[in-house]
Structure 1
Amino acid sequence: MQGFTNGMSAALIEDVAWIKAQASYGDGGECVELAGLPTGDVAIRNSRDPEGATLIATRGEIRAFLDGAKRNEFDHLIA
């Protein structure tokens, strides 16, 4: 099994399906994409740099982030 580390090139992550929010499709390409990894972790990349560095998060970290997003805890960052 391939080892995944923060900062690795997204080009090195093979055989995964990158997904992004439907709301981002018409937004000029400014979005993040996520992919489930065979390890159970989640890779995150910038759609404007699809071969650039990735952030690798655990399912628990993604769950906590999504919970915070649903509670509007990060809205001030885009106000």
Structure 2
Amino acid sequence: MATETATTPETGGKLRPDLSGAEWRSGSRTAGDVEIAFVDGLIAMRDGRDPDGPALIFTPAEWRAFVLGARDGEFDLG
């Protein structure tokens, strides 16, 4: 995957890291979970059932907001 560039202070201009050598981690041992990887100062998130599919890329500030929102129930369906 080629690296795109943009003005992102947290990453020195890199918007999309090269994920080819990323170490993906899952919250459980069950296949199909969400997986994350920390690469080039960014956080990548993908569907573990489709490892060759797209990944969402977060800056550290975006990731923190996402995690805090999840903890606060912001994304609960009910």
TM-score (norm 2): 0.70
Give the distance between the partners of 2:20 and 2:32, measured in 1 at CA: 23
Structure having the larger proportion of residues in helix:
1
**Pairwise CA distance, 1:32:** 1.0
- What does 1:26-65 correspond to in 2, within 5 Å? 26=30, 29-38=31-40, 40-65=41-66
Gaps of 5+ in 2: 5-14
Instruction: Report SS of the residue matched to 1:69.
Output: helix
Secondary structure of the corresponding residue to residue 73 of structure 1? coil
**Percent of residue pairs bearing the same amino acid type:** 35
Residues in 2 aligned to 1:21 and 1:43: alpha-carbon distance in whole angstroms: 14
Q: Report deviation, 1:45.
A: 0.9
Cα distance in 2 between the residues matched to 1:75 and 1:15: 33
How many Å separate the matches in 1 of 2:22 and 2:55?
13
Equivalences, count: 67
| Unmatched runs of 5 consecutive residues or more in structure 1 | 7-11
- Moved segments of 4+, more than 4 Å: none
Would you tell me which structure has more strand in proportion to its own residues?
2
